[in-house]
Amino acid sequence: MIQPNDNARKILDALEFMTLATADDNGQPWSTPIAPIHLPGDYTYYWISWRDNQHSRNIHTNKKAFLSAFDATPDECGTSDGVYILGEVYEVNDEAEVDSVAAAANIAERALDGSKAFLGTDPRRFYKLVPREIWLSADSDIDGKHIDIRVSAMEEVG
């Protein structure tokens, strides 16, 4: 399993929203904001979505997805920090996993509704992105011209 390095974790842990990009089986792209959840010490990202949303339908035919997270507050040089995560997405149908994530996110509805929420005939599901590669934005130059580059920001764990 991979996780973000310390620099990437600082950015990720400070943000409430990310952008999820998916593509359908014809390659048509789609992006949407999500409010992800991750369990302590684990940077697999979870979110709740209606099963018929475009990104949810895309996930059923193409597991590859991309998360972008950035702090839009520029530093003294006018740049901002971004983290980019390539991964595979899965619909979560395991009751124990749904319970764990719902508890970590303090989703009271799960406790009130029991096993009905986010499973079975419920129109919503938890989805999870398992990271495969992680990058940070960085600055560089070519012939004195500023360019924005990506540098690896992952570490192996376990």
Q: Pick the closest to residue 8 from 125, 158, 156, 154 (CA basis).
A: 154
Residue pair 92/46 in contact (Cβ under 8 Å)? The answer is yes
Q: Is 139 a residue whose pLDDT tops 90?
A: no
For the chain, which domains are there?
2-156 (2.30.110.10)
Which carries the bigger pLDDT value, residue 3 or residue 29?
A: 29
Q: What is the mean pLDDT of the chain?
A: 87
pLDDT at 40: 82
Specify the residue for token string 């986010």: 118
Specify the residue for token string 């395991």: 94
State the pLDDT confidence band at 79, using cuts at 50, 70 and 90: low
pLDDT at 108: 63
Percent of the chain with pLDDT strictly greater than 90: 49
Q: pLDDT digits over 80-112, tens only?
A: 688 999 999 999 999 999 988 888 887 766 555
State the pLDDT confidence band at 76, using cuts at 50, 70 and 90: low
Specify the residue for token string 């697999």: 44
State the pLDDT confidence band at 152, using cuts at 50, 70 and 90: confident
Six token digits for residue 106: 């303090």
Q: How far is CA 77 from the centre of its chain?
A: 28
Specify the residue for token string 């302590």: 40
- Sign of the torsion formed by the C-alpha atoms of 123, 124, 126 and 127: positive
Q: Is 115 a residue whose pLDDT tops 80?
A: no
Six token digits for residue 130: 């398992």
pLDDT (average), residues 139-154: 88
Query: φ and ψ at 140, to 5 degrees?
Result: -150, -175
Q: Within the chain, how many helices (H) and strands (E) appear? A: 4, 9
